[in-house]
Structures are given as structure tokens and as C-alpha cells.
Amino acid sequence: MLHIVNKSPQERSTLDSCLAAAQPGGAVLLIEDGVYAATRGNAAQAKLRAALAHLEIYVLAPDLEARGMAQALAEGIKPVDYAGFVDLVTQHKTCQSWL
């Protein structure tokens, strides 16, 4: 299934909740302020790197660009555009937004 996180990892604990629940083989999409978790040097990097071992992690590129963080995208996390966002939703049977 697809998990969507839209809050900054320093502001809210929704990324932690998501990663604690997400099952191997699932996908996580970071959008809005959630994209900060995908940037190099962010305190959330270690847990995201660990999650990459069993989850696909995507980030919405327009949200990264809006925040001036496109150059800081961490390795292993795949950027998608809005069409890619739709593809991810259609490819998975269910979707959970960790609001």
C-alpha cells in the first residue's frame, strides 16, 4: 500500500507513525512539509535510510523545489511529479494519509 506523509518530521511525529506501521514492500510518498525529511542533513535522515531497506520512498518534486530543497535530496529517494503522484495512487490498492 501507499503511505503519504505531509508534515515536517521536526514539527509532527507523523513520519514516525507511518514508518512504524508501514509493512515491507510498501511505498511512502513525502509531500508538502513532509519533503524536508528527504533532505540531506535533516535529523530524520537515519530513520529514512533504515526504512529504505524495505520500503520504496518517493518525494513530490514540486514541493521540494518550492522550498528551495531540490539540490538537497538525499540518495535513494525517488522524486515524482504530480503525474507520478497519481500513478502511485493508482498502482496501490489502498492509501493512508498520515495527516
Partner 1 sequence: MSEGTVKKIMYVNRKAPYGTIYALESLEVVLIAAAFDQDVSLVFMDDGVYQLKKGHQTKGIEMKNFQPTYRALDDYDVNKLYVEKEALEARGLSAEDMCVPVEVLTAAEIGKLMEEQDVLLSF
Q: In this complex, which beta carbon is closest to partner 1, that of residue 62 or of residue 92?
A: 62
At 48, list the grid cell: 529514512
Distance separating the N- and C-terminal Cα atoms of the chain: 16
Smallest distance from partner 1 to CB 48, Å: 13
Smallest distance from partner 1 to CB 93, Å: 28
SS3 (DSSP) at 80: strand
Smallest distance from partner 1 to CB 9, Å: 10
SS3 (DSSP) at 93: coil
Q: In this complex, which beta carbon is closest to partner 1, that of residue 16 or of residue 92?
A: 16
CA dihedral 17, 92, 64, 61 (to 10 degrees): 170
Query: DSSP label at 36?
Result: G
Q: In this complex, which beta carbon is closest to partner 1, that of residue 21 or of residue 43?
A: 43
Which residues bind to partner 1, rule: CB under 8 A? 6-8, 10-11, 32-33, 36, 39-43, 61-63, 65-72, 81
Smallest distance from partner 1 to CB 74, Å: 9
Query: DSSP label at 39?
Result: B
